[in-house]
Amino acid sequence: MDEAVATARAAQPKCWAAGIQKRHAVLMSNATELVARASKIGAPLSCEQDNPYAEGNAVVWKPANLTPASDVALAEIIASADTPAATFTLVIGPGCGRPSCR
């Protein structure tokens, strides 16, 4: 972990030097690729989580409290898909999550 953090810190100046347009282009490319691979990513992700929403389980999601913007966007997408009320809940704020009940 320490090595990964040190490497990321060393790379950060290059990322900022690339400019906002380049960073935006990279993020958009990532988003496009995620959409293109959605079906290939979704199944393994559900298996890894061992509690797939597609199987009918309710989800309470607690993202990192300092960086919830993408989580809010995803929650809005899920809500717009006519998700049954209270089966997907996004909790934002301080504190850490606890293991889920099965």
> What tens digit of pLDDT does each residue of 23-76 get?
888 878 888 887 888 777 776 666 655 555 655 667 788 887 777 888 888 888
Q: What pLDDT does 102 receive?
A: 46
pTM for the structure as a whole: 0.47
Q: What pLDDT does 66 receive?
A: 79
- The one-character DSSP state at 50 is T
Examine the pLDDT at 77 and tell me if it is beyond 70.
Answer: yes
CB environment 14-31: b (16+ within 10 A), e (fewer): eeeeeeeeeeeeeeeeee
Question: How would residue 21 be classed by pLDDT, with cut points 50, 70 and 90?
Answer: very high
User: What does the pLDDT average to over 10-16?
Assistant: 84
